[in-house]
Structure 1
Amino acid sequence: MTAGLVGAALALSLAAPARAGETPTAPATPETATASVTPTAPTAPASSAGWQLTPTGTDVRFRGLAAVDRRTAWAAGSRGTVLRTTDAGRTWRNVSPPGGEGLELRDVEAFDARRAVVLAIGEGEASRLLRTEDGGATWTETFRNTDPRAFYDCVTFLDRRHGLALSDPVDGRFRVLATRDGGRSWHVLPDSGMPPALPGEAGFAASGQCLITADRGGNDVWFATGGAATARVFHSADRGRTWTVTDSPVPAGDPARGVFALAFRDRHHGLAVGGDYRTGQPSPRAAAVTADGGRTWTPAATPPPAYRSGAAWLPRAKGAALAVGPTGTDLTRDGGRTWRTVDTGSYDTVDCAPDGGCWASGEKGRVARLARH
C-alpha cells in the first residue's frame, strides 16, 4: 500500500485537516520539567500511515494514552511521567505527580483537558491510582493497594463517575476495583460473579487496553488475558458485578503470549490483538474479531504480521481500525478481518477521540498524532 493510498484511506475516515507537530530532539531536563517543551528543529517527516511525531522532550516510554480530542491528549509513562497537550501536540506540558519518579504509569483515563486519572502498576503498594482536577497542577492519590497478592494492570471509565480497575487474580479470581465518584474513591467488588482464573492467567499492562468499555454511558465492560493455556476475554453487562468468559483464538500457552488489547466500536463489534511480546518471536493469529459482544471470536483472515499491543477504531469509519506495536502500525478497512501494515514506527498504544483526533505513543518519548491528507 503506497503512502498516497494510505493517506487517502485515512482521510476518508477522518474529515478535517489539522496542524502537525515535530519530532523530539532531546530528553527533558530539570529546567523543562514544569514547562511546555518547544522543539529546536524538525527532524523527521510524516510517516506513510499519517503519523507525525510531536516534541515531547523526554525519552520515557509512554504506554498510557488518552485522546480527548484533536487538540488535547494525555500520555503517561515510566518514571512517573505525565504529559498533556492542548495544542495538537505542538507543545507538551510536563504535569507529572510530584515525588512520583518511582512510579510505573501504564494507563491514563482523561475526561477533558483538566480532569484525568492515572494508574501506576506493580506488586503491593506500587499499584496506585491518582486523580487531577486542574490539568495536572496538583494530584491526589485516591487508591494505594495494600494486598501484596494484587497487581493492577488497567483502568477504564464507563462515564464520568463510574469506573473500574483490573488486578491479576487474587485467590484464583481476577480482582476488580470500582469507583462511583469519578475516581475520588475506590472499593473492591465482590468476586462471587467472577469466573475462576486459569493457572498462570493474567492481564497485560502493555497499553492501558486490557480493560475497556465500548461507549461511555453504557454498562458493558471487557478485559483480556494471556499467560495461561488459552487467551480469554471476559465480559460484564452490569458494570463489573457479574462476568462471563470465552476463549479467543489468539495463541497463549506462555507468560509472554495472549491478548494484549481490546477495542469495541459498539457493544457488539470488537477487536482483539496480541501475540508474543518477546522480540523476534513469531506471533501467528495475532488478531481476532467478534460481532456478538465477545461471546464468540473469529481469527483474522489476514492478521498483523507481528505482536500488537494496542488497537483503536477510527471514528466515522464503520470498519476501519488501527493496531500498533513495536514493529509497526496496521490498518483494517473491513472490521478486523484483514490487516495491512502501513507504518514501521514503534508504538505501544493508540487512542482515537470522538471528533476524529487519533494519537499513538510508545518508547523513547514517542507520541504522534494522525495527520489528515
Structure 2
Amino acid sequence: MRVVLLVLALVLSVAAPASAGERLPTWELKPTGVTAQFRGLSAVSARVAWVSGTQGTVLRTVDGGPTWASVGPPGTETLQFRDVEAFDADHAVILSIGPGTDSRVYRTDDGGAHWRQTFQNTDAAAFYDCLAFFDPWRGLAMSDPVDGRFRVQATFDGGRSWQPVPDSGFPPALPGEAGFAASGQCLTTSGPFDAWIATGGGATARVLHSGDGGRHWTASDTLLPSSPSAGVFALAFRTPFQGVAIGGDFANPDAPGPAVALTRDGGRTWTTPGQYPAGYRSGLAWHGGTVLAVGPGGSDLSRDGGRLWTRFDTGSFDSVDCAPPACWASGPGGRVARLR
C-alpha cells in the first residue's frame, strides 16, 4: 500500500498533460544563424528583444525575430554574457560571469554599436551571477558570497557606474551557498524597492529579500532541493507580494522533487504546491496572470499562479521573458523563440 500511495503521489506531483480541447500556446522558433547558448534574455516588446550568451555573443532583433544583428562588444569572445537587461532598442546592460576579472558589466546607448565597460570585478573570490533593475536608473548586480556574505553592487545611473552595497546588511551565507547563473533570473525586482536573490548549494535552498532597494536583506527557506547542483534557479514576482520560485537539480534534470515554491507575502514564507513541472527548470516569467517556466526538459504554464501546471513544449530553453503582448524564450544552439 505504501508503494501504491508513493506512485500516486508522484503521478499527481508532476506537470499534467493538456486536457482535451485545452488551447495551449506554442513556441515559434526564430533562426538566429549562430550556435551560442543564450542564457541571457530581455524582452522589450513584440518586435524588440535582446539575447546574450557564450563566445561574447549578443544579438538584437527589432522586427520580431526574422532578422538578428550581432551587436556584442568587440574583443569579448572568451566571455559568457549570462544576463542582459534592455530598456528599449538602443539602451541595454549586459553581465559576463566568471571568477575574478571575468565578471564584468557593459552598457550601450546606441543599440550595440558602441559599448562601455562600466564594472570589472577585481576580487578573485567573487563570481557575479545576475543583475536586475528597478527602473531605467536603479539596479543591482549580485555575486556569490565572499567571506560568508553575498556581495551586491548597486547602480543609480542606469549601469554607467557601480558601487558596493555594505555586506553588513546581509545575513550570513550558509556553507556552500551560492547563486546559479543559469538564466539571468537569480536576482529579480518588483516595484521601486523590492528585490530577491535565489540561492542553492547550502543545507537549504533559500530566497533573500530586500524591501529597501538592496541595502538590507533577510533570508527565507524553501522546500526545493539544495546541493552543489540544486536549488532555486529563477524567481519571478507579479507584484511585490505574489511570487514564484523554480529550480531543481541541473546535474539530475529528471529527478522528481518539489521544483516550485510560491509566496504571497513578499518572500517571507514559501509553500510548495501539490503539483509542479517534472524535473529541473531554469527560467520563469509572468504573462498577465499566467506563469511560464522553461528548462532543458521542456516548457510549462500555470494559469492559477503556480498551483497547477501543464507542459506545452518539449524543446530545450534556458530563459523566458515577457513584455506584453509578447513572450520570448532562449537557450542552447542559438535557439530563440516567440510565444504564438
Give TM-score scaled by structure 1 length: 0.85
Is 1:370 the counterpart of 2:339? The answer is yes
Q: Is the contact between residue 276 and residue 283 of structure 1 (CA under 8 Å) also seen in structure 2?
A: no
Residue of structure 2 aligned with 1:258, choices 228, 231, 240? 231
Encode CA deviations 1:269-290: one digit per residue, 9 max, x unaligned. Answer: 0000000001455041001110
Residue of structure 1 aligned with 2:133, choices 153, 157, 162? 157
Alpha-carbon RMSD across the aligned residues, in angstroms, is 1.1
Distance 1:339 1:132 in 2: 38
Deviates more, 1:259-268 or 1:280-289: 280-289
Q: Which amino acid aligns with 2:258?
A: R
Q: Is the contact between residue 253 and residue 297 of structure 2 (CA under 8 Å) also seen in structure 1?
A: no
Superposition map of 1:50-61 within 5 A: 50-61=26-37
Superposition map of 1:147-186 within 5 A: 147-186=123-162
Q: Counterpart of 1:270?
A: 243
Q: Counterpart of 1:125?
A: 101
State the 1:6 CA deviation: 3.2
Q: Is the contact between residue 6 and residue 342 of structure 1 (CA under 8 Å) also seen in structure 2?
A: no
SS in 2 for 1:5: coil
Matched positions, count: 323
Is 1:299 the counterpart of 2:272? The answer is yes
Question: Structure 1, unaligned stretches of length 5 or more?
Answer: 8-48
Superposition map of 1:1-373 within 5 A: 1=18, 5-7=22-24, 49-215=25-191, 218-252=192-226, 254-315=227-288, 318=289, 320-353=290-323, 355-371=324-340
User: Which structure shows the higher strand fraction?
Assistant: 2
Q: Counterpart of 1:34?
A: none
State the 1:310 CA deviation: 0.5
SS in 1 for 2:22: helix
Encode CA deviations 1:143-200: one digit per residue, 9 max, x unaligned. Answer: 0000001000000000111000000001100000000110000111101110000000
Distance 1:168 1:280 in 2: 23
Distance 1:157 1:280 in 2: 30
Encode CA deviations 1:20-78: one digit per residue, 9 max, x unaligned. Answer: xxxxxxxxxxxxxxxxxxxxxxxxxxxxx310000100011000000001110000000
Q: Is the contact between residue 253 and residue 280 of structure 2 (CA under 8 Å) also seen in structure 1?
A: no
Give TM-score scaled by structure 2 length: 0.93
Q: Is the contact between residue 96 and residue 136 of structure 1 (CA under 8 Å) also seen in structure 2?
A: yes
Q: Which amino acid aligns with 2:336?
A: V
Percentage of pairs with the same residue: 61
Question: Structure 2, unaligned stretches of length 5 or more?
Answer: 1-17
Q: Is the contact between residue 180 and residue 199 of structure 2 (CA under 8 Å) also seen in structure 1?
A: yes
Distance 1:339 1:292 in 2: 22
SS in 1 for 2:167: coil
SS in 2 for 1:6: coil
Q: Which amino acid aligns with 2:338?
A: R
Distance 1:76 1:341 in 2: 26
Distance 1:258 1:3 in 2: 34
Distance 2:21 2:91 in 1: 38
Residues 80, 4 of structure 1: CA spacing in aligned structure 2 closer, same or farther, 3 A cutoff? farther
Distance 2:86 2:66 in 1: 19
Distance 2:23 2:268 in 1: 33
Q: Which amino acid aligns with 1:264?
A: F
Residues 3, 363 of structure 1: CA spacing in aligned structure 2 closer, same or farther, 3 A cutoff? farther
Encode CA deviations 1:106-139: one digit per residue, 9 max, x unaligned. Answer: 0000000000000000000000000000000011
Query: Which segments of structure 1 move beyond 3 Å, counting only runs of 4 or more?
Result: none
